[in-house]
Structure 1
Amino acid sequence: MAKREYIQRHLIIIKRLKNRPSSFEELHRYLLEQQDITGENFNISQRTFQRDIKDIYTIYGIEIKFNKSKGKYEVFDMEEEKDYDRIFESFETLSAINLSNHMGKKIVLERKADKGTEHLHGILYAIENNWLIAFQHQSYWKDEPTYRTLQPILIKEAQHRWYLVGWDTEKNEIRNFGLDRISNLEITNNKGISLDIDLTQYYHHAIGIETYEPAQKVIISSSAYQAQYLKSLPIHSSQKVVKETKKECWFELFVHPTNEFIMEVFKYNNTIQVIEPVWLRDEIKKRVQDMMKHYK
C-alpha cells in the first residue's frame, strides 16, 4: 500500500473519531465516502482497523479505545498542544499540490526564503536523546556569526518562522534562535543536564516568540466588518468576544503585549484599536505619531 494512502487514512480516522465517536460500521461508511472524494482505497477490514489503532498510537501518540457503554470507538486523552488539524491540513495541501503537478499550474504558492527546516530532524533527535548540539548562529545585529552550544528543548513555529528554544550552556539561560540563521549544526557526544522546565506553558500566552512583558488582559475593538475576519482567524487562542454591536466588536485576549503583538495590531491598519491597558494604547499612539513624521 502506498505510504501516502496509509498516512491519509490514519489522519481521516483521527479526525473523524476526535469529532464524532463511531462504531466500526459507521467509520467504515465514512471512509468509503472519503474514498469517493479522494480517489484513494480506504476499504479496510476490522483486522486492518485494529492494526491502524496500534500504528496511530505508536506514530502519533493518540490512543483510540472502544467505549463499550456507547458501542463506539473514540479518541482518549488527546493532548491539546498537538494540533493534528494542522497536520491534516498540511497533508491535504501536499496531496493537492501533488495532483496539481500532474494537471498543470492550478495552485500558485508564495515564494518564501529558506526557513532552516533541514535542521528539524537532527534537532528533534537531539531533544529526544538529550544530546547537546553546537552550531553557528548569524544574528541580524552582528557582522560575524557566533558559535553556540545549546541543550535543545523544543522547536516553536512563530510568524511563519521556525525557532529552536533551549538552554544556552554559556549564558546559563533559555535562549531562542531562528532556524533560518543556523548553520553547521552538529549533534555532540555530550549529554544535557536535567531541566525541570515546561516551555509549552512558557509560550502559552505569547504572540510569536517574545515573552519579555508579563502576560495580561488586553482589550481591542474593531469594526463589525473586520470582526468577521478576526473571529475566523483569531490573533491568539485566548481571544474571545466580550461585547458586540452593529458597528463595533470588542475582543479580550490574555497575551504578552510585546513588540510582536504591537506589529500584529499594526497589520490591521485603522480597522482595530487597543482599548486596554492604557500604557499599551499610549505606546501604539506614540509609534503612530513617530511613523507620521517619516511621511511629512
Structure 2
Amino acid sequence: MKDYLRRHIWILSKLYENPKGLTYKEFEYEWGRTELNSLKTPLPKRTFADCLRAIEEAFDIQISSDVRNGYRYRIVNREWLEKDNVKDWLLSAFAVNGLLQDSKGLRDRVMYETIPYGNGHLLKILECMKKNQVVNLLYQDFFDDEPCEILLEPYFVRVFHQRWYVIGVMLNAPEGEEPEERTKQGRIRRYALDRVHRIFATEDTFKMPRGFTVDSYFADAFGIIVEPEVLKAERIRIKATDINHRRDYLRKLPIHWSQREVENHSDYSIFEVTVMPTYDFIQHILSMSSEVEVLSPNYVREEVVRWVKEIAKIYGLKTLDF
C-alpha cells in the first residue's frame, strides 16, 4: 500500500510540474531513476494507466494523451483547476510532497508554515460537514474563564494566520442573550479549532442555504472577521510608497481580491480595495508601517491613527494632534 500511494503521488507530481505533459516512455525512464523506486521496479503501461484513472477520480482532474500532443499525458483542465483554490492547493501540496519524497536531499531544505494547534479536530469537522451534521463543541475563548458547550451547524472551514476556523450557525444563544435574538439571522459565528477542547457529532442534521458558499460569505472580508451587522464594505484608498518596494509587493500579493491600482506616480501608487475595515484589516495595514497610508474614508484613517497613538504611548513617544 505504501509503494502504491508513493507511485500515485509521484505520477501526480510529474503531471503537475510539467504543464506540457510527458510521454509514457518519459514517465517510465524517470520512474527508473527516482529515489522513491529503490527496488528499481518497472512501470508497466497497464499499471500506469490504472494510476492515471485513480488520480483522475481522487482529484477530479482530466488527464489526456493524443497524437496532436505527441502522446504526452497532461492535465487538460489545468486552467479551471487553478481557479478552484482548494483543488489547486491540494494538488500543489501533493506535488511538492512527491518531489520531496523523490529527492531525500531536499527534505532538510524546505520549510512549511506550520499550523501548531487544531489539526486534530479538522477531519472530524469535515466529516460532519460532509453529512450536514450538527456538532457539539466544548469551546473556551481566551477571555473566558471556563469552557462552554456550543451547538453548531458547520458551514465552512478556513485557515487564516496559522489557525483553522470553523464557521457556522450557532444554535444555542450565549448566556444573557434575549430569546427574541436567538434567530439564525446574524447567528453565524467563527470558532478557532485551537480553542476547542473536544468535539462530537450529534444526531441532528441541517440543510445548507442554497447558493451560500465560503467565497460569497468572505467576499467583502479581508481575513477571518465578518461583521455585516457592525461594519459594511467600504471603498478604501491606500497610498503605497516605494519604500522597501511596498507597492511592488502589493502588486504581486494584493490585500484583497478587489484591489485595483488607480494611480501610478514616480514614487508611490494609490490602490483601492472594497472591504470591511475590520480589526484584522487594520492590523494588516499597521504591519506595513510607514510604507502605506490610508487616505479614505476618514473614519478608517482615524482608526489607524488611534492605533498609531496607542503604539507611541507604549514606547513613551510624544504624538502630535493629527
Do the structures match in fold with TM over 0.5? Answer: yes
Return the alpha-carbon distance in structure 2 between the equivalents of residues 104 and 182 of structure 1.
35
Larger Rg: 2
TM-score normalised by structure 1 residue count: 0.79
Aligned residue for 2:237?
219
In the alignment, is the contact (CA less than 8 A) between 1:63 and 1:78 conserved in 2? Answer: no
In the alignment, is the contact (CA less than 8 A) between 1:10 and 1:52 conserved in 2? Answer: no
Aligned residue for 1:271?
291
Residue in structure 2 matching 1:164, options 159, 163, 166: 166
Report deviation, 1:268.
0.9
Return the alpha-carbon distance in structure 1 between the equivalents of residues 102 and 66 of structure 2.
38
Report deviation, 1:149.
1.1
Q: How does 1:95-110 map to 2 (within 5 A)?
A: 106-107=108-109
- Shift in CA distance, 114/204, structure 1 to aligned 2, threshold 3 Å: same
Tell me the secondary structure at the aligned position of residue 167 of structure 2.
strand
Return the alpha-carbon distance in structure 2 between the equivalents of residues 199 and 98 of structure 1.
33
- The answer on 1:136 being equivalent to 2:100 is no
Aligned residue for 2:312?
292
Residue in structure 2 matching 1:82, options 80, 85, 94: 85
- Shift in CA distance, 151/249, structure 1 to aligned 2, threshold 3 Å: same
Return the alpha-carbon distance in structure 1 between the equivalents of residues 32 and 235 of structure 2.
47
- Shift in CA distance, 164/277, structure 1 to aligned 2, threshold 3 Å: same
- The answer on 1:246 being equivalent to 2:284 is no
Gaps of 5+ in 1: none
Tell me the secondary structure at the aligned position of residue 78 of structure 1.
helix
- The answer on 1:183 being equivalent to 2:201 is no
Percent of residue pairs bearing the same amino acid type: 23
Aligned positions, number: 289
CA offset digits 1:124-167 (Å, max 9, x no partner)? 11111111111200011210011011111111111221101112
Report deviation, 1:236.
2.4
Gaps of 5+ in 2: 174-183, 317-322
- Shift in CA distance, 239/56, structure 1 to aligned 2, threshold 3 Å: farther
Letter in 1 for 2:258: S
Return the alpha-carbon distance in structure 1 between the equivalents of residues 266 and 122 of structure 2.
47
Letter in 2 for 1:87: L
Q: How does 1:1-296 map to 2 (within 5 A)?
A: 1-14=3-16, 16-17=18-19, 25=23, 29=26, 39-40=35-36, 50-64=49-63, 74-75=76-77, 77-78=80-81, 80-91=83-94, 94=97, 106-107=108-109, 114-171=116-173, 172=184, 173-196=187-210, 197-212=212-227, 213-224=231-242, 225-296=245-316
Tell me the secondary structure at the aligned position of residue 293 of structure 2.
strand
CA offset digits 1:73-120 (Å, max 9, x no partner)? 6117537343444335544665677789x6699448589674201111
- Shift in CA distance, 90/156, structure 1 to aligned 2, threshold 3 Å: same
Structure having the larger proportion of residues in strand: 1
Report deviation, 1:178.
0.1
In the alignment, is the contact (CA less than 8 A) between 2:133 and 2:203 conserved in 1? Answer: yes
Report the more deviating stretch, 64-73 or 256-265.
64-73
Report the more deviating stretch, 269-278 or 128-137.
269-278
Letter in 1 for 2:206: G
Report the more deviating stretch, 61-70 or 199-208.
61-70
CA offset digits 1:19-58 (Å, max 9, x no partner)? x5x5x64x875x57976996556x9676556544532342
Tell me the secondary structure at the aligned position of residue 275 of structure 1.
strand
- Shift in CA distance, 4/70, structure 1 to aligned 2, threshold 3 Å: closer
Return the alpha-carbon distance in structure 2 between the equivalents of residues 287 and 10 of structure 1.
48
Report the more deviating stretch, 261-270 or 87-96.
87-96
Return the alpha-carbon distance in structure 2 between the equivalents of residues 66 and 238 of structure 1.
38
